[in-house]
Structure formats: structure tokens, C-alpha cells
Amino acid sequence: MKARRDVFQAIADPTRRAIIGLLAKQTQTLNTVAENFNMSQPAVSKHMRILTECGLVVIVKQGRERHCSANFQALEEVARWAEQYRSFWNARLDTLENLLNEED
């Protein structure tokens, strides 16, 4: 069985983040997605394969077209990971604000 790609790998690439952003607005065909990027169709297909392997994009074949949509549930892992740092940075920024206020 092939190992599933990591969500963090997928969002590390700016093109893949742009694809997710594009599909966040509306479902599009694979060709429509490719038209938004200055790269070959095979290059876009490779990005789409990575996004589907990690569950960020779902592709449904309808007739001869393949419709792509974003799956935001797959981003929950990223949100949980980032959340653990929110309190740390909030505390650091509060400390900085207090220091700046003391200088005034």
C-alpha cells in the first residue's frame, strides 16, 4: 500500500497553496485550474496529484471532465498544529506591548 502524502508537504509549495485558494472559491475543471498557471498541463497535474493524495483536493469525473474541489477538512491537522503556538505568540506580544508601554 502506498503511503499517503503529508498535508504539510502539500502546502509547502506556493503553487499548491495557490491551487487550494483557487478551488476555495469554486469547483473547477482540471483544465480551468491549469489555465490559471504559467506552466505545462503535466506540471499542474503533478501538483493536483499531490493535493489529492493528501486529501486537500477531491476530483470527481463527470463525463469527459474532471471537476476539482477543495477539501478543507484535510487542513484541520495544520490548524491544530498552528493553534499550539497561538498562546505562545500572544504571550510574547503582550510582553512586548507592556515593555513598549513602560517606555512611554
- pLDDT at residue 3 is higher than 70: no
What tens digit of pLDDT does each residue of 47-57 get?
999 999 999 99
Task: Give me the pLDDT at residue 50, please.
Answer: 95
Q: Where are the chain's structural domains?
A: 7-74
Question: What's the CA gap between 3 and 101, in Å, rounded?
Answer: 52
Mean pLDDT across the stretch 66-95? 90
- Asked if residue 6 lies in contact with residue 54, where contact means CB atoms within 8 angstroms, the answer is yes
pTM equals: 0.77
Q: Strand, helix or coil at 91?
A: helix
> For residue 4, what pLDDT is reported?
63
Domain 7-74: which topology?
A: Arc Repressor Mutant, subunit A (1.10.10)
State the Cα angle at 5 between 35 and 88, rounded to 5°.
Answer: 100
Q: Quick one: cell of 76?
A: 484541520
pLDDT tens sequence across 51-77: 999 999 999 999 999 999 999 998 898
Closest alpha carbon to 75 in 4, 8, 5: 8
pLDDT at 53: 92
Say if residue 1's pLDDT is above 60.
no
Cβ atoms of residues 19 and 49 within 8 Å: no
Residues 6+ apart with CB under 8 A from 52: 58, 59
